[in-house]
Amino acid sequence: MLEQVPNFDDESLASLLKDLYGLEGKISPLVSFEDQNARIKTDTTTYVLKIANTRWSHEFIEMQTDVLTHLETQAPSLAFPSIVPTLKGEYITYVDGFAIRLLTYLEGDLLTNIPRTPALYQDIGRFLGQLSQAMQTYSVTVVEGSDELWMLDNVLACKKYLADVIDRDAADRIERLYAVYEKTIFPKLANLRKAIIHGDANEQNVLIDPEQPEKVAGLIDFGEMQMASQINDLAISMAYSLLGEPNVEMASSNMIEGYDREFKITDNEREIIYYLVAMRLVTSIIMTSHSAKLFPENKYILISQKSARALLKKLEDEKYILA
């Protein structure tokens, strides 16, 4: 089936909930660019109804479900959404070709809205380290991810759109960084530990406990999972967490220390971690620049990458990377 974004109206969603799960509740749409998500609030519980774009293979959807089930037993101290079975005991139901799942709703404040402290950065690292440890025992059946152009191990694929970066200073810095990456970093990827990773532990997906603002309450959105270098989960989270952070040394060292305490970082991983952070920023800058070229009427796209350009420059100026 070709790519198709689901667009069920509220009446259809209510019927699906009643027929599949025996539930009734208030339906509120949640932001999603390629899928359709809605928050379902019943008298007693809140859920997330997820309807997947038809571009995702059945195997990829099933892997997302399998991973959440795996983490319930292998990382019971960490909080993730849980799969809610249908009245027939099914975790995934297909309606008109669309994969439908119901997940528990995780409470918490988005990291993007929380003041940062050394203790919070430590706990983000701790959470991701425990996640990496748990995923070492996951038996892989699918290696594909959602979008190969956003896969950190595949960052060279974005290079074809480098010309779309109109900020000359950023483009020059990225070009220099690519040269260093291709020569000294990319050859080392083969020696890094591989597993299925979350792939997008950004400031919108990391939840913080409102009662304990220095503790991670959970991690959501497993739609970017992929077979990749395990250290990428830390690198990706660092790239987003450091946006707008004036003290890169404080923040990054605490995230690395928290992760390392739970999942020992190898010498090979430690040697290139900041380059991986930088290359995630490269992906973000290039792909948003490409989107801006495709949708020139959307002025916000280029404004949103300003913090990524600033952080990439800071990493170079402060000698975390040499480009």
Mapping DSSP onto H, E and C, the string for the chain reads: CCCCCCCCCHHHHHHHHHHHHCCCCEEEEECCCCCEEEEEECCCCEEEEEECCCCCCHHHHHHHHHHHHHHHHHCCCCCCCCEECCCCCCCCEEECCEEEEEEECCCCEEHHHCCCCHHHHHHHHHHHHHHHHHHCCCCCCCCCCCCHHHCHHHHHHHHHHHHHCCCHHHHHHHHHHHHHHHHHHHHHHHHCCEEEECCCCCCCCEEECCCCCCCEEEECCCCCCEEEECCHHHHHHHHHHCCCCCCHHHHHHHHHHHHHHHCCCCHHHHHHHHHHHHHHHHHHHHHHHHHHHHCCCCCHHHHHCHHHHHHHHHHHHCCCCCC
* Rounded CA separation 101/109 (Å): 23
Could you tell me if 186 and 291 lie in one domain?
Answer: yes
What is the per-residue pLDDT for 33? 80
Q: What pLDDT, in 10s, does the model give residues 33-43? A: 889 999 999 99
What is the per-residue pLDDT for 34? 87
Q: What pLDDT, in 10s, does the model give residues 277-303? A: 999 999 999 999 999 999 888 877 788
Give mean pLDDT, residues 84-113. Answer: 97
Q: Which of 105, 132, 152 is the last residue of a domain?
A: 105
Q: Which of 56, 76, 105 is the last residue of a domain?
A: 105
Q: What pLDDT, in 10s, does the model give residues 54-95? A: 999 999 999 999 999 999 999 999 999 999 999 999 999 999
Backbone phi, psi, residue 9, to 5°? -80, 170
| Domain harbouring 240, CATH code | 3.90.1200.10
Give mean pLDDT, residues 125-131. Answer: 98
* Rounded CA separation 49/13 (Å): 9
Q: In this model, does residue 1 exceed pLDDT 50?
A: no
Could you tell me if 174 and 39 lie in one domain?
Answer: no
Q: In this model, does residue 187 exceed pLDDT 90?
A: yes
Q: Which of 77, 105, 133 is the last residue of a domain?
A: 105
Percent of the residues in the chain that have a pLDDT greater than 70, as a whole number:
98
Name the least confident of 10-19, 84-93, 134-143.
134-143
Could you tell me if 173 and 306 lie in one domain?
Answer: yes
Q: What pLDDT, in 10s, does the model give residues 156-179? A: 999 999 999 999 999 999 999 999
What is the per-residue pLDDT for 141? 73
* Rounded CA separation 95/93 (Å): 7
| Domain harbouring 49, CATH code | 3.30.200.20
What's at 43, amino acid-wise? Answer: D
Could you tell me if 312 and 254 lie in one domain?
Answer: yes
Is 133 within 8 Å of 262 (Cβ atoms)? yes
Is 65 within 8 Å of 39 (Cβ atoms)? no
pLDDT band at 2; cut points 50, 70, 90: low
Could you tell me if 287 and 162 lie in one domain?
Answer: yes
* Rounded CA separation 162/160 (Å): 6
Could you tell me if 292 and 152 lie in one domain?
Answer: yes
Give mean pLDDT, residues 19-29. Answer: 97
The whole-model pTM stands at: 0.95
Q: Count up the domains in the chain and report the number.
A: 2
Provide the mean pLDDT of the chain. 95
What is the C-alpha radius of gyration for the chain, rounded to an integer number of angstroms? 20
For Cα atoms 279, 282, 288, give the angle at the middle one, nearest 5 degrees.
Answer: 145
